[in-house]
Amino acid sequence: MKYSEARQGRVFILRLEDGEIVHEVIEKFAAEQGITAASLIVVGGADDQSQLVVGPETDRGLPLNPMSHQLRNAHEVTGTGTLFCDEEGTPLLHMHMACGRQDETITGCIRSGVKVWRVMEVVIHEILDTGARRLMEAPLDLKLLHP
């Protein structure tokens, strides 16, 4: 385990609008507001054809080959995530959502593009006094959190 200590900063409340791509809007907002680290929660709706990463094809071996799932119809969602900047200072969101419709739920990472259906509420809790960053790390070739 690796860790660091930080403190809470500003709290932002966002309402995302129909058709917006969740990670794109949040990362742009973070850049505009100078948010370099945060935790987030979301509730709302995900639109038809939104994409989720739902795991690697296999739990063994590299490279990682992510599996994708496309939502059919609108889904109710709840999600949680973190936002940290990479080595260039670009805010990167890592968020997982549970997306449900009737008696089925699919959970995955939103980095492939989740589109808002009607409205989505986001609460961003800024994290201050941290040097935590997302840095490229082998052998996974992912930008992983370095607290």
pLDDT per position as a tens digit, 38-93: 999 999 999 999 999 999 999 888 889 999 999 999 999 999 999 999 999 999 99
Tokens standing for 87? Answer: 């080595």
Inside any domain, residue 2: no
Question: Using CA atoms, how far apart are residues 120 and 14, in angstroms rounded to an integer?
Answer: 8
Q: How far is CA 5 from CA 36, 65, 77, 82, 129, in A?
A: 15, 33, 30, 15, 8
Tokens standing for 114? Answer: 């989740």
Q: What is the CATH number of the domain that holds 20?
A: 3.30.1330.80
The pTM of the full predicted model, rounded to 2 decimals, is 0.96
Residues spanned by the domain of 140? 8-146
Q: 25 falls in which pLDDT band (50, 70, 90)?
A: very high
Inside any domain, residue 66: yes
Inside any domain, residue 3: no
Please write down the HEC assignment for all residues of 30-91: HHHHCCCEEEEEEEEEECCCCEEEEEECCCCCCCCCEEEEECCCCEEEEEEEEEEEECCCCE
Inside any domain, residue 1: no
Inside any domain, residue 125: yes
- Domain count for the chain, please give it: 1
Question: Using CA atoms, how far apart are residues 28 and 110, in angstroms rounded to an integer?
Answer: 16
Tokens standing for 71? Answer: 């939502």
Using a pLDDT cut of 90, give the percent of the chain over it. 95
At residue 75, φ and ψ (nearest 5 deg) are -135, 145
